[in-house]
Every structure is written in structure tokens, then in C-alpha cells.
Amino acid sequence: MKNNDVSNRADRDKILAIAVYFLYLNKLSATKTQEGINENDRENPDEITKLKLIKLVYYANALSLVYLEKPLFKEAIEAWKHGPVIVSLYDELKQYKKENLMNISSLNDYERYSQCLTDEEKEIVKMAFREYGGYTAFKLRDKTHKEKPYLQNYEENKNNIIPNDEIREYFKQVQEQKTQDLYEKSEEFRCLFKS
């Protein structure tokens, strides 16, 4: 079953709220590093295109599946030619083609959408932004093309759904590996200071 039209307006509003929150975080990071985002690690902090924003929302949902053990939204994610897609968000943004969404005033009304997200969900979006926000749209696309959930579900000329359980399992392993790598690096660092 395809999820091409989402009847639940609240779900679409929530998806758009997540997207708008990414734009808000990007705006903040361009001027300060308060949200724990290192400006020096960012390639082009001012530009977010439709492709990049859709991938960021996908990654936020993946992190929510891992850390909150639930999706950020109900709509299914589909495997398209350029990676995972949230169809309602694609439909909302397709008019902007390759434009920098930071310049679209209607998409930068954070106050209008802020009540759609809980504090917990905002933290997940911040986490996704810190982890993936510094990548260009095409690096994010290429990254998703190497990841198991997309690889297992993409078929040319079909928009197969990427099941949340596959996304959760894959990203749970990714996050566990990052934690292990961080632990190993901290052990190496501590060894430098032992007498």
C-alpha cells in the first residue's frame, strides 16, 4: 500500500513543523554556535534546498525511532531515485525546485509551527541537525544511497515504502557503533595522561 496522499492534516503540519524547525536551526547556526553546532564543520550553513530538507527530516525520524522508540510522524517514507522521501513534504516543497529555502519567508515562520513539536521532539531534530546539517544535499543523498533501509527497498520506477522497523534497526546499529567509537577514542585519550 502506498502512502501517496496523507489524509491527516495534523501529521502533514507536524512534518512541515519539523522542516521549519530545521530551517530555524540553520538560521541560528549561521550566526552563533549556541545550539551545540560547530560552524567550522559546516559546508554552507546558509543553504538548504528541498532535497536536503527532505533528507534531514528523514534522519530526524530515524533518530526518533532509535531514541524515542516511535516515529516523529505517521506518514510512511518512500524509496525514490534520489533517496528516502516524505511525499507530503515533497509535495509542499516541489514548487521551490532547487531554491535555497532559507529565502522563502513562508517557510521561516517558526513561531507558527513551534507548538506542533514537543520539547523531546525538538531535541531529536537538534540532534539530527548537529549530525547531518553540515552535509550538502547531494552528500546526504549519496549517504542514504549507501544505507541498508534504502538499499533494501529501492526499485527503479517504484516508490516502495521503507518500513520503520528497518530504519530503526539500521540506525540503532549506527548509533551504537558511534558510541563504541567515541568510547574507544576516550580510552585512547585517557591513556595519554596515565603515568
pLDDT digits (tens, 9 = 90+) for 82-127: 999 999 999 999 998 887 887 777 777 777 777 889 999 999 999 9
- Report pLDDT for 22: 93
Which residues lie closer than 8 Å to 153 by C-beta, 6 or more apart?
A: 79, 160, 161, 162, 163, 166
> What is the C-alpha separation between 81 and 64, in angstroms, rounded?
24
Exposed / middle / buried, residue 69 (Cβ in 10 Å: 0-12, 13-18, 19+):
exposed
> What is the C-alpha separation between 29 and 35, in angstroms, rounded?
7
> What is the C-alpha separation between 93 and 25, in angstroms, rounded?
18
Smallest CA-to-CA distance from 90 within 102, 112, 75, 104 is with: 75
Share of the chain above pLDDT 90, in %: 62
pTM of the model: 0.84
Q: Identify each DSSP E strand in the chain by its residue range.
A: 77-80, 83-85, 160-162
> What is the C-alpha separation between 158 and 40, in angstroms, rounded?
39
115-167 per-position pLDDT tens digit: 889 999 999 999 999 999 999 999 999 999 999 999 999 999 999 999 999 99
Q: Does 128 or 4 have the greater pLDDT score?
A: 128
**What residue segments make up the domains of the chain, in order of their start?**
9-192
Q: What is the chain's mean pLDDT, rounded? A: 85
- Report pLDDT for 9: 86
